[in-house]
Amino acid sequence: MIAVIGGSGMKQLPGLEVTHRQMMRTPYGEPSSPLIFGTINGHEVVFLSRHGHGHTIAPHMVNYRANIWALCTLKVRCVIAVASVGGIRANLTPGTIIIPDQIIDYTYNRRFTYFEDTDRQVVHTDFTQPYCTDTRTRLLESARQAGEKIFDGGVYAATQGPRLETIAEINRLERDGADMVGMTGMPEAILARELGLSYATIATVANYAAGRGDSQDSIPLQAVFATLEKSMVNVRNILNHLVKNDVH
């Protein structure tokens, strides 16, 4: 079974034939929303809305540990995280879809690990490649089959939010090597790695980052929402092909 975590722009998964909904409890509290189980073309899929019903949970308030733990208990084959980002790199224009391969964490005060018990030996998780190579490859191949243009690779800068960044902050991120900026990439990715889940992100560029493109003075939020709505059609097309290719 494939798990999809929906972010801004994907509050539900169109095309999913829902069989049931389940609210799960974990040692870390309740996930952001009920898990929605169903099928796409006869293949089992579970969907979780990262920001909750009605998009009411801010990025820094998401219970990432509960979300990932709940999916792990279901023994899903892979987790696809859908995210919206701001484009820093010049060719990452609004509407672009990209599969990042690296991440830089600028978040703080988030519950970022499962290894907190002082009576256990310290665990150092290998995070050299933060996204599952096999799952990334499957996403790229699904995009090719779907006829969707997609960028392979890029550095995701995970910022705290919920505010957007200043031009100076984006300039700093660019100097650090970031290609895009978002608010939910961490600690979601490392928590998935700690539990041994195959995890990858499919990101849609919702807007130019501050100081880039037409975002010299401000970011046009209405245009952002329109771009997300349009690009999510392409994302769903890719996900449908990924599910179709899933081997039971």
Q: How far is CA 63 from the centre of its chain?
A: 14
Q: For residue 72, what are the CA distances in angstroms to 60, 81, 99, 131?
A: 22, 14, 22, 16
63 is in an annotated binding site: no
CB-based contact 228:204 (threshold 8 Å): yes
Known binder of ligand: residue 203?
no
CA distances from residue 180 to 67, 157, 213, 240 in whole angstroms, order as listed: 24, 6, 13, 25
106 among annotated binding-site residues: no
Query: Which positions ≥6 away from 217 have C-beta within 8 Å?
Result: none
184 labelled binding-site residue: yes
Sole residue written with tokens 């665990």: 123
Say if residue 41 carries a ligand binding annotation: no
User: According to the annotation, is 93 in a ligand binding site?
Assistant: no
Query: Angle, nearest 10°, between helix axes 133-146 and 221-244?
Result: 100
Q: Annotated binding residue at 207?
A: yes
Q: Is 8 annotated as a binding residue?
A: yes
Known binding residues for phosphate are 8, 50-51, 184
Known binding residues are 8, 50-51, 183-184, 207-209
Known binding residues for substrate are 183, 207-209
